[in-house]
Amino acid sequence: MIPLVSRLSRQWVRWTCAPSPGAVQAIMRKPRAAVGSGHRKQAASQEGRQKRAKNNSQAKPSACDAGLARQPEEVVLQASVSSYHVFRDLAEVTAFRGSLLSWYDQEKRDLPWRRRAEDEVDLDRRAYAVWVSEVMLQQTQVATVINYYTGWMKEVNQLWAGLGYYSRGRRLQEGARKVVEELGGHMPHTAETLQQFLPGVGRYTAGAIASIAFGQATGVVDGNVARVLCRVRAIGADPNSTLVSQQLWGLAQQLVDPARPGDFNQAAMELGATVCTPQRPLCSQCPVESLCRARQRVERERLLASRSLSSSPDVEECAANTGQCHLCLPPSEPWDQTLGVVNFPRKASRKPPREESSATCVLEQPGALGAQILLVQRPNSGLLAGLWEFPSVTWEPSEQLQRKALLQELQRWAGPLPATRLRHLGEVVHTFSHIKLTYQVYGLALEGQTPVTTVPPGARWLTQEEFHTAAVSTAMKKVFRVYQGQQPGTCMGSKRSQVSSPCSRKKPRMGQQVLDNFFRSHISTDGHSLNSAAQ
């Protein structure tokens, strides 16, 4: 496995489609900010982290930051919001920060992007590492992302296939190219300029990069943070609504620790991911339980149920609890005693994914290097934009019409084909975020005839080994497994385990070898052997 420092650094250059030598040199030669030793222990002291944050805040801003005034962040307060749902004094905010950060220092998970943010002394490389992790983590669980991040990728779409949401990868590539070609190899340093200059970087990603990599005191709100804030301040309304979302961002900005903004934001996300979970929160392990209004509401309801509220200390509630507060539980969904703190927040019911069907065909022909299969590229917009797939058509109401439409699509790419060999092999069901797609899988093997050597733009013939490293979706890999399982007599073989072995992979190109040698001699490793880079 190639050490992550070296992999990320090389990917920065490789992704940009061979930028000019001057642009590459700008990355390699830019001075490193003095932000502490690159070999710090992971459990660094708070004093060390505060010093790093101070150094980050004093770092010279990049050219893309110049001329863009930084507007002061303010807590968002709405006239229709009760003070019950905000933090009303500095003492309460300070207590929240201190309790959360102390817990985080003891309980945080050891994740590769956190180690990189701790140890990488080059500001731009650190920001890039954070950027990659945040994009990967969008709509994807941490456990899934770890191996992808640690191994990283030879090409953005090649290994991205299992992560889904493929447009994220394209935007990340576009952004990396822009940094190298237009911004002199330097990342913007503030949340405002990150959003302004980098395609696909929104408010959350910009805040995460700016706070973790550059020490900017800016809050962030993702799904985990939103859930924590909703429970801590008893916000029961839909967090995706405009008013609630605005309020949550205001709370995040109010709470973020100016001395340790990156750690604070990660701590809030960590709390939501491991303790303040959606369905089974571990309230007894929560470092801010005493400040949580959701827990206070649970206690109040318990006392009411036992009819001992009058003899107990007052438990505060929203002064506007008359159905008029837009942050309280909606009148249509009153408090549910069985849910406890999970009453907050009440999300709008999610629509089930719509169901669609299509027919797809694995077209195979013999080739000089073994069997080849035909792939065509999807449009540049919409579902799975730009990825490669087997020729497909929408579902037809009858088998005869389906076969006719599919054969016409195949002939559009490969010319005349024997219709009698088109066979139905089974079906594959794959659910995307909003679509449940059923593929009727067909196969057509061209044996004993002249191979097709030319195809129109947007199509290509690949060997099986090339297919396994191509930018194809998980759904297409499922389709191919169905085809393999039904083709014991073809040159493709029937074993699902036929994948490219390490010894059969191509050696790095000369340009890549040059970069490998450069980083091998200039960048320290984190305990992994650089000699394994080509394995």
Residue-wise pLDDT tens for the chain (535 aa)?
A: 333 333 333 443 333 333 333 333 333 333 333 333 333 333 334 444 444 444 444 444 444 444 343 443 444 444 456 788 999 899 999 999 999 999 999 999 888 777 777 777 888 888 888 887 777 776 666 766 666 555 543 454 455 555 555 667 677 778 888 888 899 889 999 999 999 999 889 999 999 999 999 999 999 999 999 999 999 999 999 998 999 999 999 999 999 999 999 999 999 999 999 999 999 999 999 999 999 999 999 998 888 877 765 555 556 778 655 556 888 888 888 889 999 999 999 877 778 888 999 999 999 998 877 889 999 988 877 777 778 899 999 988 888 999 999 999 999 999 888 888 899 999 999 988 788 999 999 999 987 777 787 788 989 999 988 888 777 888 999 999 999 887 544 434 333 333 333 333 344 444 344 334 433 333 333 333 222 322 2
Q: For residue 511, how many other CB atoms are within 10 A of its CB?
A: 11
What distance in Å separates the CA atoms of residue 274 and residue 100, rounded to the nearest whole number? Answer: 13
Secondary structure string (H, E, C) spanning 231-250: HHCCCCCCCCCHHHHHHHHH
Facing residues of 441 across strands?
360, 426
Q: How confident is the model at residue 524, as a pLDDT?
A: 35
17: left (phi over 0), alpha (psi -120 to 50) or beta: left
Q: How confident is the model at residue 428, as a pLDDT?
A: 94
- The residue among 326, 296, 181, 315 whose CA lies nearest residue 233 is 296
**DSSP helix/strand/coil, 445:** strand
- The residue among 170, 245, 262 whose CA lies nearest residue 210 is 262
Q: How confident is the model at residue 36, as a pLDDT?
A: 33
What type of residue sits at position 99?
Answer: S
What distance in Å separates the CA atoms of residue 436 and residue 438, rounded to the nearest whole number? Answer: 7
Calculate ∠ Cα 512-518-521, nearest 5°: 140
Q: How confident is the model at residue 514, as a pLDDT?
A: 38
How is residue 371 annotated by DSSP?
-
Q: How confident is the model at residue 80, as a pLDDT?
A: 56
Q: How confident is the model at residue 319, as a pLDDT?
A: 66
Q: How confident is the model at residue 449, as a pLDDT?
A: 72
What distance in Å separates the CA atoms of residue 496 and residue 480, rounded to the nearest whole number? Answer: 9
What distance in Å separates the CA atoms of residue 413 and residue 391, rounded to the nearest whole number? Answer: 8
Taking the alpha carbons of 84, 86, 89, 92 in that order, is the dihedral positive or negative?
positive
Residue 530, CA atoms < 13 Å, CB-side half-sphere = 16
What type of residue sits at position 156?
Answer: V
Q: How confident is the model at residue 161, as a pLDDT?
A: 56
Retrieve residue 310's tokens: 């009058």
Q: Which active-site residues does the annotation give?
A: 134
What distance in Å separates the CA atoms of residue 318 and residue 86, rounded to the nearest whole number? Answer: 11
Retrieve residue 88's tokens: 């009303």
Residue 273, CA atoms < 13 Å, CB-side half-sphere = 16
Question: Residue 521: which residues within 8 A CB-CB, separation 6 or more?
Answer: none
Q: For residue 509, how many other CB atoms are within 10 A of its CB?
A: 9
What distance in Å separates the CA atoms of residue 371 and residue 435, rounded to the nearest whole number? Answer: 33
What distance in Å separates the CA atoms of residue 213 and residue 187, rounded to the nearest whole number? Answer: 10
Q: How confident is the model at residue 67, as a pLDDT?
A: 39
User: Torsion over CA of 90, 92, 94 and 98, rounded to 10 degrees?
Assistant: 180
Which residue is it, tokens 């990049």? 62
What type of residue sits at position 227?
Answer: R
The string of DSSP codes covering 276-287 is: S-SSS--GGG-T
